[in-house]
């Protein structure tokens, strides 16, 4: 019997408040660029950061490129494009929550080679594929986004001895 090797050794939970702060920080960093025609959010993870960045930069035109590549703590090998975008991306901001291994990023970059690619979080393998990001986390960390979690009671540390 072969045990499945878990690719993640750590979990980094992100609260709604932290995601909002980090997305606003990304908007601040993007101010150095003159103008974006609009935002193309990579679904689903890029939707919430796109809404926050759009508000902060007063961008009203938002589109999506719909890609499926993840299951819970299991990175599948294939990338499925559910809804492409038919342009080269010039003048557009391409936005996602995270660049991880770079598989999704490479696929979307090929579709939109002239877009400015920004993510809120970046891991070392995918970082070279994005133009702008806010926070880097280690490759062996699973980022637990608030839309994937719910509040529940946690036993106090003292109670676990």
Domain spans, the chain: 23-146
Mean pLDDT of 125-153: 94
Report pLDDT digits (tens) over 48-89: 999 999 999 999 999 999 998 755 545 556 889 999 999 999
What confidence score (pLDDT) does residue 75 get?
53
Mean pLDDT of 95-113: 96
> Is-catalytic flag, 100?
yes
Residue 27 above 80 pLDDT?
Answer: yes
Mean pLDDT of 97-121: 96
**The CATH number of the domain covering residues in 23-146:** 3.40.50.2020
Mean pLDDT of 36-57: 97
Q: DSSP string spanning the chain? A: -PPPPPS-SEEEE--HHHHHHHHHHHHHHHTTS---SEEEEEETTTHHHHHHHHHHHT---EEEEEEEEEETTEEEEEEEEEE---S--TTEEEEEEEE-SSHHHHHHHHH-TTSEEEEEEE-TTTGGG-SEEEEE--TTEEEE-GGG--------GGGG-
- Dihedral, 82, 113, 139, 44 alpha carbons, nearest 10: -30
User: Which residue among 74, 97, 131, 140 is the active-site one?
Assistant: 97
d(CA 80, CA 131): 23
Better pLDDT: 48 or 1: 48
User: Which residue among 96, 131, 140, 148 is the active-site one?
Assistant: 96
Residue 1 above 50 pLDDT?
Answer: no
> Is-catalytic flag, 96?
yes
Mean pLDDT of 123-142: 97
> Is-catalytic flag, 148?
no
């Amino acid at each position: 019997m072969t045990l499945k090797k878990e690719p993640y050794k750590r979990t980094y939970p992100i609260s709604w408040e932290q995601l909002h702060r980090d997305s606003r920080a990304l908007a601040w960093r993007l101010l150095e660029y003159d103008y974006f025609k609009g935002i193309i959010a990579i679904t689903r993870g890029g939707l919430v950061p796109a809404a926050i960045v759009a508000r902060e930069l007063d961008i009203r035109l938002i589109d999506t490129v719909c890609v499926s590549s993840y299951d819970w703590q299991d990175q599948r090998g294939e990338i499925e494009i559910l809804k492409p975008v038919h342009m080269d991306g010039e003048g557009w901001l391409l936005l996602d929550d995270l660049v991880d291994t770079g598989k999704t990023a490479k696929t979307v970059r090929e579709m939109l080679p002239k877009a400015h690619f920004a993510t809120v979080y970046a891991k070392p393998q995918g970082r070279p594929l994005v133009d702008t990001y806010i926070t880097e986390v280690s490759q062996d960390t699973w980022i637990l986004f608030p839309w994937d979690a719910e509040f529940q009671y946690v036993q106090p540390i003292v109670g676990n001895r």
